[in-house]
Amino acid sequence: MRTELDFWHRIESGLRASLPVTLALLLTLVCTLPLGPPGLGQIMPSLPMICVFYWTVYRGDLMPLVATFVIGIVHDSLSGAPLGGSAIVLLTLQGLAARQRRFFHGKTIAVVWAGFAALTAIVQSFGWLIASLYHLQALPLMPAIFQAFLTMALYPLIALPFGVILRELLQPLPVAPR
Amino acid sequence: MARRTRGSLIRVAVPIKALTHRFGLFLLLLSAMALMIVSRVDPDTAVDLRNGVVDTTEPILDALSRPVESSNRIVAEIDSMLTLREENAELRLAIDRLKRWELVARRMEAENAALRGLLNLRIESKPSFVTARVIGDSGNAYVRTLLANVGAVDGIVQGQAAITGEGMAGRVVEVGRRASRVLLVTDLNSRIPVVIESTRQRAVLTGDNTDTARLAFLPRDAQVTVGARVITSGHGGVLMPGLPVGVVSSITDGVVRVQPLADLGRIEYVRLVAWEGPRLEVLPEPAIANEAEGAP
């Protein structure tokens, strides 16, 4: 009896623990859908960037590097971009965010949002550089800039529901004070 | 014995685990870079991996794109209800104009048939169409592609043209089992052999990730005017000739830019054109010999 309970408990906590990666994959699919306004395809906000950043800051243990890599590959596969480009951008974002985890801990959403905006600007420039290197020519800058701004603008819209999920279904990971 | 193997395994595995933990980010970044290099050097391998992912996610994308499409349609419906009056007047004018064109087209069709009969012209194969729903936009700032919900099982092959009601949108570059990728004419990698309809001058329509495409390899003395229509030439035997692609929108410093006829930003359905181009086939030796004998 007890082992059975144990079994279901383990399944439940396993499902909860897989939420960040599952949500990130789902939003990666959503951001390749042909949504509303014409021309949005090129400047569609990068939802995987928001997911990877958020979960790295609040539950880094539930967003392993390998998962980020896979999310990047899925995004590249669906968008038709050279494989690996998004993976590099997302992993860089994760690496940078993980270093700032202590700084972000316990700060208001506005502070974290500003941090996200700064990191987005850095990794988006990096991504543009990589794509330009791949094609051996400078790509148009405007779509990349628009995409970065839209991604920054959309952050709270995704972060707020994620915050509810974090509080209700997962526990924020305690971070040792410096 | 077994215990010793296990012990040595642990002795090896533990440092490896520590190492991967320490350098995980570095290793994954390296593999991502390696993947990029592979997809640059040997695109076929990358395409297989990509098609695997696309085929796996196709049912989810297909399901997710349906409500999106219906909501887009509702917005469009409301939009068209608001402009019903003006649209009606416009359509009446268009019908009048098109009726006159219909007369011209009928006369030309008859004339064409008669002349073909006279010339004994070998008619090229007729195209067939497969209509597909767009289930994916690129969602990436550096590429311009679409995902359509038909693939190899529907008879789609690489190189087919994708057209909308207005004109050519792009061509099929990757074919999965149930989904295929259309490279839009404005993408950086798109090259389409075209002719200018009125002057029959050849050129290559080259995308550069902006909203218009550029005419490359146009002769220096070519006479091009703004508003000239650009159609596929069929050179190379891959694309069907005569598909309308765009109109010349600007000529500055010898750079001719073409505005695609298809509204690439809001495509919901595309038609993929299957067309068997002329092919050179090497006849087997005996066949050639027989033909030579048969000839007087």
Query: Could you tell me if residue B39 is inside a domain?
Result: no
Query: Could you tell me if residue B28 is inside a domain?
Result: no
Q: Could you tell me if B114 and B135 lie in one domain?
A: no
B31 and A69: CB-CB below 8 Å? yes
B265 and A81: CB-CB below 8 Å? no
The candidate with the shortest Cα–Cα distance to B172, out of B185, B186, B183, B188, is B183
Query: Could you tell me if residue B292 is inside a domain?
Result: no
**Regions of chain B short of the pLDDT cut 70:** 1-10, 12-15, 17-18, 20-21, 122-125, 277-296
pLDDT at B274: 86
Q: Could you tell me if B115 and B140 lie in one domain?
A: no
Rg over alpha carbons for chain B, rounded to the nearest Å, is 26
Interface residue A60 vs chain B (CB under 8 A) = no
Cα separation, A152 vs A20, in Å, equals 20
Q: What is the domain range of residue B251?
A: 128-274
% helix, strand, coil for chain B, step of 5: 45, 25, 30
pLDDT tens per residue across span B208-258: 888 899 998 888 777 888 999 999 988 877 888 889 999 999 998 888 999
B32 and A72: CB-CB below 8 Å? yes
| Bridge partners, residue B260, by sequence | B246
Chain A residues whose CB is inside 8 A of the B57 CB are 29, 74, 78
Q: Could you tell me if B132 and B262 lie in one domain?
A: yes
Domain spans of chain A, in order of start: 20-31+44-157
Interface residue A40 vs chain B (CB under 8 A) = yes
Q: Could you tell me if B97 and B165 lie in one domain?
A: no
Interface residue A22 vs chain B (CB under 8 A) = no
Query: Which of A34, A43, A135 comes nearest B136 by C-beta?
Result: A34
Scanning every residue of chain B, which has its alpha carbon at the shortest distance from the alpha carbon of A138?
A: B208
The candidate with the shortest Cα–Cα distance to B59, out of B153, B187, B179, is B179
| Bridge partners, residue B194, by sequence | B203, B232
The pLDDT mean for chain B works out to 84
Q: How far is A73 from chain B (nearest CA, A)?
A: 8
Give Cβ neighbours of residue B58 (< 8 Å, ≥ 6 apart).
Answer: B135, B149, B176, B178, B179
Query: Could you tell me if residue B17 is inside a domain?
Result: no
A41 and B181: CB-CB below 8 Å? no
Q: Which stretches of chain B are assigned E, i.e. beta strand?
A: 128-137, 145-148, 161-163, 168-175, 180-184, 191-196, 202-206, 213-216, 229-232, 244-252, 255-260, 269-274
A-B C-beta contacts closer than 8 Å: 168
Looking at this predicted complex, what is its ipTM?
A: 0.85
